[in-house]
């Protein structure tokens, strides 16, 4: 601004010098205030023109704010994990005790078969390499391993049987058993599959029976029949006729079988009765007065040699002794007396 005022003043002075009038010409007096106002006006106008010619800067439009969508913060419902089913797991059947419920009374040395019903609730099939195995307690004369006779798919049930003998001492006894897979892993029942199943019995003394009056025997009766016979597993024998496997089954006195764990089993047939004699060789009077019954007789092969008094299906009194022979055969030495 000051520079422009200076230029204007300089121009005015130059013009005045060039147009000097003769000395005698009257020069009009200049008004300093008017000159200053004119200079200010011209400078102001020049500034306004300059400013109006300058282009106005275009302001960028403010960016439009896009709202962020509201997030759904609702938690999904918690899902319970699916429990993993064990490969080997058993559960009690309905019922589990098919035979010999807990507390069953047994006589001394009584032979019995315990059967459990179990269900396969695992994810693996029980093959014939699986077995029922003794776990703890009293084995009661049973073999410790019994392999399954059939496969059991998941969800199926099976009845498992173990042959046992009651102990010879009165008391309460329990035998605990579990299952074993083909790899030797032991498992059982319960929530964790680690509980055994069992048989519990009470062994009681034999009841005292009313004494049977002794029959007076005068003299020794004659021998009706005697001999030795060799029997194999499954053979039936007619003592009265000394015939193995007679055609008329009504004449059979007993059946010989091999068992597990009892290797020698004799089963009375057609109302034959007998009794085990532990002391000495019985005579006719001893067998005539013995307390006979039709219970199955069981023997270990190592303990054969006991004497047995009997009454045949025809009513004849006699005795026999069982001796071991080759393989599973037994030799029977017998005597049958004729009625006096």
Tens-of-pLDDT digits for all 340 residues of the chain?
Answer: 555 656 666 666 665 555 554 545 555 565 666 666 666 566 666 666 665 555 555 555 555 555 555 555 555 555 655 567 889 999 999 999 999 999 999 999 899 999 999 999 999 999 999 999 999 999 998 999 999 999 999 999 999 999 999 998 899 999 999 999 999 999 999 888 899 999 999 999 876 555 555 555 545 678 888 889 899 889 999 998 889 998 888 889 999 888 777 778 889 999 899 988 877 888 888 888 889 998 888 877 666 777 899 999 888 999 998 887 778 888 888 999 987 6
Q: How many Cβ atoms sit within 10 Å of the Cβ of residue 98?
A: 15
Tokens read off for 79: 């899902």
Burial of 225 (0-12, 13-18, 19+ CB in 10 A): middle
Backbone angles phi, psi at 214, to 5 degrees: -70, 130
What is the rounded distance in angstroms from the CA atom of residue 331 to the CA atom of residue 324?
6
Whether the link from the prior residue into 95 is cis, omega within 30° of 0, is: yes
pTM of the model: 0.42
Residue with tokens 């759904």: 72
Whether the link from the prior residue into 261 is cis, omega within 30° of 0, is: yes
- CATH fold of 90-204 reads Immunoglobulin-like (2.60.40)
Residue with tokens 């060789």: 281
Tokens read off for 174: 């329990």
CATH 2.60.40.10: which residues of the chain? 90-204
What is the rounded distance in angstroms from the CA atom of residue 261 to the CA atom of residue 164?
7
Tokens read off for 209: 């029976």
């Amino acid at each position: 601004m000051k520079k422009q005022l200076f230029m204007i003043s300089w121009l005015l002075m130059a013009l005045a010098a060039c147009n000097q009038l003769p000395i005698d010409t009257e020069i009009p007096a200049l008004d300093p205030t008017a000159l200053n106002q004119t200079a200010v006006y011209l400078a102001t106008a020049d500034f306004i023109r300059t400013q109006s010619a300058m282009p106005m800067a275009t302001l960028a439009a403010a960016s439009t704010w896009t709202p962020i969508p509201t997030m759904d913060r609702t938690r999904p419902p918690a899902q319970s994990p699916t429990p993993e089913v064990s490969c080997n797991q058993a559960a009690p059947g309905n019922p589990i005790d098919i035979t010999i419920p807990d507390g069953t009374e047994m006589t001394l040395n009584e032979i019995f078969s315990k059967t459990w019903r179990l269900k396969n609730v695992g994810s693996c099939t029980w093959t014939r390499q699986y077995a029922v195995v003794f776990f703890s307690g009293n084995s009661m004369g049973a073999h410790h391993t019994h392999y399954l006779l059939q496969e059991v798919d998941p969800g199926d049930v099976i009845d498992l049987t173990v042959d046992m003998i009651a102990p010879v001492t009165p008391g309460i006894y329990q035998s605990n058993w579990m299952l074993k897979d083909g790899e030797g892993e032991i498992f059982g029942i319960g929530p964790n599959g680690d509980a055994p199943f069992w048989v519990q019995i009470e062994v009681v003394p034999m009841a005292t029976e009313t004494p049977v009056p002794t029959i007076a025997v005068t003299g020794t009766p004659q021998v009706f029949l005697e001999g030795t016979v060799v029997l194999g597993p499954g053979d039936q024998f007619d003592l009265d006729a000394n015939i193995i496997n007679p055609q008329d089954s009504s004449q059979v006195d007993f059946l010989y079988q091999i068992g597990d764990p009892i290797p020698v089993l004799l089963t009375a047939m057609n109302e034959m009765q007998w009794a085990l004699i532990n002391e000495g060789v019985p005579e006719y009077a001893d067998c005539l007065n013995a307390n006979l019954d039709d219970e199955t007789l069981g023997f270990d092969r190592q303990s054969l040699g006991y004497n047995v008094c009997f009454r045949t299906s025809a009513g004849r009194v006699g005795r026999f002794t069982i001796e071991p022979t080759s393989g599973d055969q037994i030799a029977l030495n017998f005597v049958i007396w004729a009625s006096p």
